[in-house]
Amino acid sequence: MADLVREAPAALLTCLPFGHVEARLWERARPGRRLVVVVVGPVTEPFPGGLPASVIGRTVPAEDDPLPAALATAENALTTLLASPARAHEIYTSAGRSVLLVGAGIVNLVTAWRLVREGFEVSVIDAGPDPRVGADWTEYGCTRGGGDARMATLTEADGYFSGADPAGANRFLTPVRLGGWRVAGPGPLTSDEHGWVSANAAVPPWLAGQYTRDILGINRRSMQLWDELARTEPGLFTDAGRRDRILRLYTDSSLLARQLVRQADVGADPQLLSPAQIGDRHPALAAVATSGVVAGGIVVDGFTVQVHRLVAQLVGELERSGAQFDWGRAGALVQDATGAVTGVRVGAKTVTADHLVLSPGAYGGDLLTGMASGGALHGVLGAWLSLPNPHGLELSLKIARTGHLAEDSNVTVTTGPDGRSQLVIGSGYGWTGADPANIDPGQLEVLHRAVADTARTFFPDAYEEAHDSGQLNCGQRHCVRPWTASSLGLLETATMPGGGTLVQRRVNPAGV
């Protein structure tokens, strides 16, 4: 008991009964925090006398190796507490009604939309230009800088663990040209970057499984919220090109069989199609479907959207609702003598608000200095290519090419600036390390060539038309998304001196 009071952990695993007296002592050692105790084994009365409201009790049965289940139970309970409706209500009702959001990517813009609808006074700052002015794509962050397309499926965000490729090398340390994920420059990695890679490789299988289940649960809830937004605010999507259902194509029959089971398990309402059925139902794919390249396909729940158009619509609607935007302004946190954040320094002035929301994507390294989650974010690069859509493909695709350098590709059917139908291909995993600008041009070119090969293989006519018109080169882009070693999102909160709340979060790198 003395160790528990001295160390004051957030969670406790024990094989002994844990009663009210012990809980009270622990509660005093960690005031104002919710705590979790997990009792392991065949304990008849695990919580004699009950537990106070601040302590949550869980049990797991005695198994051959109960520790993984106990750790997963404790971590899940703590995560649920951090992101619970009660915690959200606490933030909503804490002091003040003004909110400053740093970062104007899709995550913060949707957050701003919700806050405005809840009656908050909202202001947003972003280091990039106004997304509606059409500046060069290299001046923007991930949302506006990549292709005008995003995809959401129930397995879009996923767990990526162990870091090992089939040959046994660590994929984050292996260059793209050798089948790995590294696009970071050829110089030596920092100690923090080595630590990030090691942390990813150190996630044990039992915990990786729990993390993946958590991520898939977030996918499911995210899809529900996007569908709800589309129903309640259809005007936001009028010009955003939303398309429902996704056709997943596979070049490997064994992967197709495994994915059919997985898509059914996550509730994606999968519909299996043979190559002949793909050709019959989607004439634009008839040639590739019957060429022997495609082993089959699965139609699943999901949607695609033109994110650039959606962002422009959101910004306009937010402005009309009174939200204030400050473009081209990078910010830095201002802290008092105790380390508490009091505002954001923008140029020569300090901007303050009752609440502060940080979502800078992969580009927030300097902004997040001093925060617990600051060093957790690294960059993962994706390459983009735009093609014409001469055969009128109507359903957006996800292509899985086993063993290819561009192994997974999203193909979104969009409408281009000239009003013509286009195919926007996004693919590739390119780890940049902690610095999203640390990109080896040679490795990036390898990734672009791999995406181009997918375009040439699956859409040969569109590829030739893009080559002849020059679109092939001008249609190449890339963006860098945030990633954590655990593949989980981040949520960090702190109380500001005036009683408001600071929230720092990011989402999994894939998906909308």
pLDDT confidence bin for 3, thresholds 50/70/90? confident
Polymer length in residues for the chain? 512
Residue at 185 is within a domain: no
Among 74-88, 285-299, 446-460, where is mean pLDDT lowest? 74-88
Residue range(s) defining the domain that contains residue 53: 2-82
Among 162-166, 227-231, 366-370, 459-463, where is mean pLDDT lowest? 162-166
What integer pLDDT is reported at residue 446 of this predicted model? 96
**For residue 206, what are the CA distances in angstroms to 18, 37, 385, 484?**
26, 20, 37, 18
Residue at 121 is within a domain: no
pLDDT confidence bin for 273, thresholds 50/70/90? very high
Residue at 381 is within a domain: no
106 phi and psi angles, rounded to 5 deg: -60, -35
What confidence tens digit (pLDDT) does each residue in 415-427 have? 999 999 999 999 9
Per-residue pLDDT, averaged over 306-317, amounts to 97
What integer pLDDT is reported at residue 164 of this predicted model? 55
Q: Within the chain, what is the greatest distance between any pair of CA atoms? A: 78
What integer pLDDT is reported at residue 93 of this predicted model? 73
Q: Is the pLDDT of residue 382 over 80?
A: yes
Q: Is the pLDDT of residue 508 over 60?
A: no
Give me the helices (H) in 83-140, please.
85-93, 106-117
Q: Quote the percentage of the chain above a pLDDT of 90.
A: 69
Q: Is the pLDDT of residue 84 over 90?
A: no
Residue at 198 is within a domain: no
Q: Quote the percentage of the chain above a pLDDT of 70.
A: 97
Among 39-48, 157-166, 253-262, 400-409, where is mean pLDDT lowest? 157-166
Q: Whole-prediction pTM value?
A: 0.89
What confidence tens digit (pLDDT) does each residue in 326-368 have? 999 988 899 898 888 999 999 889 999 999 999 988 987 778 8
Please name the helix (run of DSSP H) or strand (run of DSSP E) that holds residue 22, with its range, or none: helix 20-29
What confidence tens digit (pLDDT) does each residue in 26-54 have? 988 888 788 999 999 888 899 999 999 88
Residue at 211 is within a domain: no
Q: What's the total number of domains in the chain?
A: 1
Output the 3-class SS for 486-499.
Answer: CCCCEEEEEECCCC
Neighbours of 357 (CB within 10 A): 23
Residue at 71 is within a domain: yes
Mean pLDDT of the chain: 91
What integer pLDDT is reported at residue 511 of this predicted model? 46
pLDDT confidence bin for 279, thresholds 50/70/90? very high
Q: Is the pLDDT of residue 258 over 50?
A: yes
Residue at 12 is within a domain: yes
pLDDT confidence bin for 507, thresholds 50/70/90? low
Per-residue pLDDT, averaged over 109-134, amounts to 95
Residue at 436 is within a domain: no
Output the 3-class SS for 304-349.
Answer: EECHHHHHHHHHHHHHHCCCEEEECCCEEEEECCCCCEEEEEECCE
Q: Is the pLDDT of residue 466 over 90?
A: yes
What is the rounded CA–CA span in Å between residue 495 and residue 502?
Answer: 6
